[in-house]
Chain A
Amino acid sequence: MWLLPLLSVVTTDALAAGFQIKTMRAPFAAVEVERPLVLGKGWLEFSLGYDHKLADGAWSAEGEAVQWESARWLYTTERIGIRYGITRDGELYWDVPFHYVNLSNDALGTDTSAFGLGEPRFGWRLQLFRRQVPTTSLVMDLQYKMPAGSESPGSYVGGPNTVSTFAMSSGQADLAGFLRFKQQVGPLAGTFSAGYVHRFSGVTQFVIDAETYQFAGRFKPGSEVRAEGELLAQVFGPLAFYGDATVRRWFEGAVGTTSGGFYADANLDPIPGSDGWSLDAGGGAIVNVTRGVDIGASVSVPLRGEDLAYFPLEGISATRGNTYGATLELRY
């Protein structure tokens, strides 16, 4: 991560010696439709991404759309991604998001912003099966979410109208496992994945002890099962379009105090009604400028959601609003 900025100031060809293409580097398809779900051995990918979500509503506990009267919630993600093909069929990846958020409420006259590190993810993808021409790729994806971002709400007393800043992390870690499958048929490719996200509990700064307002509580969001589908068409040479849909089903969360001993969750009380499901649909376009440069644009539309118990933690409690994204991927 530190070396890449260094490269940007390189002006002499001599310095580039260390970045010459290695013989061991695996072949990598020039177009999206032919690419497997892991990066080839020896490939390093550095990506920059931006997501823009402007929400003016949420979901009710019954899953109905709720329009806010005067509040607007801007949630942006500035993302740095690194993928490295560590073995012939294995890939390590890191995803480091930052967020700029703003909550304004004309009626209340509040306008609060924050910027900070979000929740990085580290993962390992292992290709269990692959075939070329046409591409078939079956991948196991293990992923760990790290609660590195700030948890401070800036006030002992919680609630969206009283915070002086925003937590960027749920304060607890996730471990997720997915199976992903991609099949190419000519210029088309379908990808389907399904998996389970286990959410650990953690003492968090934003869960405040209601008695003394000085101490924190332990929080465990509900674990989740997730399925995703995508259909991609590489119709105009380097240009590919895709449409996708994601369905999530999450279980009840819990909150309380830490229990003694190694198992810390024994004292936690379920949060009634905190389970639910959601459906998002979207699409986008990818331009494979060269084998080493991709540019992408995407949109995601929430079709169904449930509850807004954990605002402003979008990762476990999404507001209602379209997300528009753009990515730049540099690969060498």
Chain B
Amino acid sequence: MLRNFLLAAALLLPAPALAKNVFDHNHPDLDWYSIETEHFVVHYPQSKKKENNKHYLTAKWTAQKSAKIAEEMYPRMSAEFNYYIKEKVHIVILNQGDDLQGFTVPTWDWIEVSANPGSDFYRMRSRMDWLYDVLVHEYAHVVSLKAQGNYAEGVQAVSIGALYNEGVGNTMTGGEVLLGNNEPWYWTEGGAEYWSDQSGYNWWTPGRDRTVRMSVLEDRLLDWDEWKTVAQTHTWMDGERGYQQGYSFGLYLRERFGSETYNKFATENQQGWVFDWNDHLEKVTGVPGPQLYQDWRAWVTKKYTEQYAAMKAEGETPWRELALEDYEWEYTDPDGRDAFNDLRWKRKWGVTGEKIARREREAAKEATGRWYLTPKWSDDGKWFGSENSGTLEINPVDESLFSAYTGTVGTDRGETDLLARQTLVVPTGAWGANGAGHDWDFVPGQDAVVITGAEHLGDDKKPGAVLLNARWEADGYEWKKLWYVPLELKEHKEGNLTYTGWKEVDVLGVKHPPMPKGAYAIPNTERGTDPAVSPDGKKIAYFEYTDATMNLVTINLDGTDKKYLSKFDDGTAFQRMDWSPDGKTIAVGIFRNFQQDIWLVDADGQNWRPLMYDRWEDNDPEYTRDGDLLFISDRTGIMQVYRWDHETNKIAQITNLIGSAETPSETPDGNLVFTSTTAHGQKVGGLQRADFLEKDVTADFVLDADPAAVKEAWEFREDLSMFKEEPYRYQLMAPSAVPLIRITNDSRDDLSLQAGAAFFVQDFIEDHFAYAEAIAGEDWNARLQYMYQGWYPNLILGGVYGEAKYPYGYLLDDDNDLSTTADQGTYEGKQSQNYMFGFGGVDYPWNSYWRSFLVGSYIQYGFRSTDDTSFAQYNFSTEVGLTQSFSSLGQWSASANPRGGRSFDIMLSRGFTDIVYEPFGGKTVDDGELLDNYAYNKAEIRWVEQIPVPAWGGLLTEANQKQHTIQLDFDVGMIDRNVDRNDEFRGGGQHPFYWGSNSLRPNTLFSGYPAYSLSGETMAMVNLAYRFPIRRYLNKHVGPLYVHTITGQVMGTAGNLWSFTPPDDPAKFYRNEYGERVAYDPADVQREIPFIDEAHKNGNYLLYDAGAELRVSSTLFDNYYWNSFVRVSYGFNEIRGYGDVNGDDISDSTESAVGDELSNETEEPGFRFYVGLGTGW
């Protein structure tokens, strides 16, 4: 009987809540509209709010422009593959948030793009062209992936899985594989770039060239194994590197074999599924893939080494990184860099293997910063700051401290330590939410900065809120906003060291900088970015963006006197600006009508005029103190810094760097500070004034463009009125299915197959979502789940019905003496069970960390034996529960080694159960109490903490560097009365298959004991695990498998599940027909006190286990995460229980030696083994 309850419990878990692809929040404050063209439907949002509301938004222009681009690109892209798509493709424009979004699901005929790309995208591609770039790229995906797909589009993949549970050997072995399309990453993403080029929309921009060029010159190209796999390495720019290597590969193939070479791979793949997609390369070109890769590598290497040699011949300007530490190997020892590159590094770190040594080298280089932008000194030279990956780092530091300007290498270590302590890190909130790369500025005459922040910046930096990310975003809006932040120093003492640094708050030993006192969000600056403060310190000029368009705005520091200096509504984009020293002029980089130039405008918004009007990509204007203008241009094919002399109207090239130079600024001493791209990060660079190239290149720029032509272009507005909108009607995406094939066992010799499918459908704006699953074998079940995501909370409804059969064995022993076997007989039986589960509720994300769930559920089980004509219901149960969840682990929660962060769930529920099973007379006995119907309250708290091993000297520091992690996992719970065992808490080792791969709980807590073997109304357990990467950067193909990392883990659990104990005094109980004790008075059934009483059901005060595990993180067929593990756990305690405790599939009827109603069987202390292939851990 026990097994059937447990089986049901396993099957009834609701499918994970699925929310929208992009936003945590729904936006019921938006109306949606659609523009339909011959081949596309473009959907866009518009606020129900009035236009003067601070969160008013529309994306109408973006939608109209997208419709135009879409119809233009349709014939060109279709011609590339001779694949003219009949079905209409839906493009959904987003403008609710500030994220860069651009993705497609071709089989759903769905493209989703944001109206605004954020700033780092422009920086990455060196050009402020968003809509053409993203739409053509995504549509290239749609056409190429449809054209190459050998699966019909209604099926994403076929899922084949198995789980075998062997109760005697204590092993659980499972595996899952998804068979689907297996195109490699370089072809998918690089191809989309290439076909954008082929169809005439894209070209090899300076930004793309820079990425590949520096990867070649610094030995950082993705190798053949890495670039095939979507989930390859995770270091700086590997994503963009993969895109552009793939693009470059397409260009190489075009040059060597013809322009259709890349396309032919699609045609070849359509013929049928192949084990290794890359075999198509040889079929099409006659050259094996790996050889073709090497040939391409030689091609790009030759190209860029020749380019670099030519630059050196012209005169490379010597620059150095502005780092607080000068790496010895980089500067002081001429042989040091070679030695470093020769991988002697690996000996220093005591590691072996070329890949890990190379990766360590890259990590060291990346440690000095990956995404530095917009470095500058304050006008008074007191402060230096730079934006770094969404934070602003500011130091009270003089430029003479940096070797880049002094030429003296080897900063005093004490000073750099001090500097590190003095670094103010201002969280701008402009990273994850908004993308990085936005400008900021010092406030002249004040110790303060104005930054591109976010609306709720600082909410989660208050003491008490910092660990829990308690940020209030209930309306779903977290737009960018300008903030005024004073720079405030404080005296610190650390041991014998006293220094002046920034204020810090200490929360649980972790120091966090709070928002400085006096910081405030500048009113009326929603969606404002890239501020520049006027020389008198009174006004801010900034960009305000929406609907793919930016405008130039000025405002006072207190948010008053807001003025629009431009009124574009046509996709015009800006990047970086500066005030002239006299405060009369603002210079700004503008992209408009495919032109990217520097423009000047009077501070009152009058007299817009271009500084130059030419074919170069010009940008990043920044005034010098004497009124000249620094800017960047790709005149040479590489972004370099130029200076326009305001008196002579001459332009001089200042830098000549192979890695490019951007976001320039003049230092107080007249030197140059800028950022330069390396293969290991966007670094802050310094160049001494004496080393400026000073090459007159005035003639290469058009400084005297025809005013009439300029005026005409400036005033041009594209007519898009032919693209009419209609209110959005709910339109379903093409439904998808995943056929499911499962092989599992109910007993050791009873393997059976189930087959079915999971179905998924939603509408294009994701308001409605439905999931269905039906699978049948000997057991069958069907599930239907619906979610409405158009209101503030998600509304969820669902239901499951299923039937299951299970064989069992039963040992009859007439004399209750196991030593005499003549009277024993083993018999087998088979039982059927049905179950019905319904649930409904709401789910609300407070922010990206916090979620609340309020769910009501209904559960019913029934049994059908040989002599039953129908199922006899066992129970009717309902439960209403509130769950408050927090997780700061994000995407890393499923990784092999999540480190840093925590998750916890608090669950409170009230339930009601009515036992109605006729064979038991509508009642049951649990722990000596006769139960008919009852209500109960239940509370559970789970807390998982992922703690990087602290770098506290010696071994611990080394462990920290090797990313060792401590995991603490607590789970406590209580039910306020004795309940049927089906309502109790459960414990025991579980295999992740069928339970989802993201949960850590079955991974560690009591994996030394059988699944479901522990139960009770009170639960307290703690698990301590120590994880240590064994191979972090393996990155090796083994057949169809690409193995990333191997991680080890050792763990142990202590705790127990306690229940209620039946009375021992014979005067207080009687035995029912099944031999169970039943108390005359329920008050004689005593609650077991945790840690004091023995848990009578398992026979222990406390349980302990210990285990070890290997995790292998990999990708299968270049496309699917395929994570595997082997775990062995040891349960130190012998445990008792009901029914087949020892797992041999035979329930022993012999009376127990201690004369109670528990089974005569016990599970001895011993090992349990778990193997999961592709199941997660």
Contact = CB atoms under 8 A, between A and B. Distances in A.
Nearest to B84: A23
A215 B869 contact: no
A18 B732 contact: yes
Contacts of A8: none
A152 B772 contact: no
A86 B152 contact: yes
Contact of A152 (B151, B809, B869): B869
B830 A148 contact: no
A298 B827 CA distance: 46
A44 B153 CA distance: 11
B755 A203 contact: no
A155 B778 contact: no
Q: Counting chain B CB atoms within 10 Å of each CB, which of A14, A257, A259 scores highest? A: A14
A27 B165 CA distance: 46
A15 B270 CA distance: 30
Q: Counting chain B CB atoms within 10 Å of each CB, which of A1, A2, A20, A217 scores highest? A: A2
Contact of B730 (A14, A43, A206): A14
Given A15-B731, A21-B86, A264-B749, A216 B829 contact: yes
B146 to A, nearest CB: 6
A215 to B, nearest CB: 4
Nearest to A114: B869
B733 interface: yes
A316 B734 CA distance: 41
A150 to B, nearest CB: 7
A3 interface: yes
Nearest to B782: A2
Interface in A261-279: 261-264
Contact of B153 (A12, A14, A42, A262): A42
A39 B737 CA distance: 17
Contacts of A107: none
Majority secondary structure, A binding face: loop
Nearest to B807: A203
Contacts of B85: 23
Contacts of A44: 154
Contact of A22 (B41, B150, B734): B734
Given A1-B774, A84-B152, A148 B753 contact: no
B735 A3 contact: yes
Nearest to A42: B152
Contact of B864 (A15, A152, A171, A206): A152
Contacts of B86: 20-23
A84 B155 contact: yes
Contacts of A25: 152
B168 to A, nearest CB: 10
Contact of B805 (A14, A16, A151): A151
A209 interface: yes
Contacts of A218: 828
Nearest to A155: B867
Given A12-B729, A18-B732, A23 B152 contact: no
Nearest to B108: A18
B1 to A, nearest CB: 14
Given A2-B759, A86-B155, A208 B866 contact: yes
A246 interface: no
B90 interface: yes
Given A15-B730, A24-B149, A144 B753 contact: yes
B477 interface: no
Contacts of B735: 3, 18-19
A216 B806 CA distance: 12
Contact of A148 (B83, B741, B803, B809): B803
B832 interface: yes
Contacts of B829: 203, 214-216
Interface in A1-50: 1-3, 6, 12, 14-25, 41-44
A18 B757 CA distance: 19
Interface in A134-174: 144, 146-148, 150-156, 164-165, 171, 173
Nearest to A167: B866
Contact of B749 (A85, A204, A258): A258
B153 A22 contact: yes
A87 interface: yes
Contacts of B272: 87-89
Contact of B154 (A84, A94, A264): A84
A146 B777 contact: yes
A210 to B, nearest CB: 12
B162 to A, nearest CB: 14
Nearest to A261: B749
B866 A153 contact: yes
B776 interface: yes
A42 to B, nearest CB: 4
Contact of B772 (A3, A117, A154, A217): A3
A264 B828 CA distance: 12
A154 B748 contact: no
Interface in B822-866: 827-830, 832, 864-866
B868 A154 contact: yes
B925 interface: no
A168 B761 CA distance: 33
A120 B805 contact: no
B780 A24 contact: no
Interface string B1032-1052: 000000000000000000000
A155 B830 CA distance: 14
B772 A2 contact: yes
B908 interface: no
A25 B748 CA distance: 44
A22 to B, nearest CB: 5
Given A18-B734, A165-B869, A146 B754 contact: yes
A251 interface: no
Contacts of B778: 146-148, 173, 202
B552 to A, nearest CB: 41
Contacts of A257: 827-828
A152 B828 contact: no
Given A42-B154, A84-B152, A120-B780, A23 B146 contact: yes
Contacts of B776: 96, 120, 122, 146, 148
Interface in B85-100: 85-88, 90
A259 B828 CA distance: 11
Contacts of B732: 15-19
A261 B753 CA distance: 19
A262 B748 contact: yes
Nearest to B774: A1
A63 B833 CA distance: 39
A300 interface: no
A92 B759 contact: no
B750 interface: yes
A11 to B, nearest CB: 12
A205 interface: yes
Nearest to B270: A88
A14 B830 contact: no
B832 A152 contact: yes
B152 A87 contact: yes
A155 B867 CA distance: 4
30 contacts: A1-B772, A2-B782, A14-B730, A17-B733, A19-B735, A21-B86, A22-B87, A24-B146, A24-B153, A43-B152, A44-B154, A84-B152, A88-B270, A88-B272, A122-B755, A122-B776, A146-B754, A146-B777, A148-B777, A152-B869, A154-B868, A156-B866, A173-B752, A173-B777, A205-B865, A206-B866, A212-B827, A214-B829, A215-B810, A216-B807
List the 10 shortest-distance A-B pairs measured between CB atoms, nearest first: A14-B729, A18-B732, A122-B755, A2-B772, A215-B827, A17-B731, A264-B749, A203-B807, A42-B152, A165-B869
Interface of A: 1-3, 6, 12, 14-25, 41-44, 84-89, 92, 94, 96, 114, 117, 120, 122, 144, 146-148, 150-156, 164-165, 171, 173, 202-206, 208-209, 212, 214-218, 257-259, 261-264
Given A20-B734, A122-B756, A152-B866, 19 more contacts: A3-B735, A3-B770, A15-B731, A17-B88, A18-B734, A20-B87, A20-B109, A87-B150, A87-B273, A88-B270, A89-B272, A117-B780, A150-B832, A151-B805, A151-B830, A202-B750, A258-B807, A263-B749, A264-B749
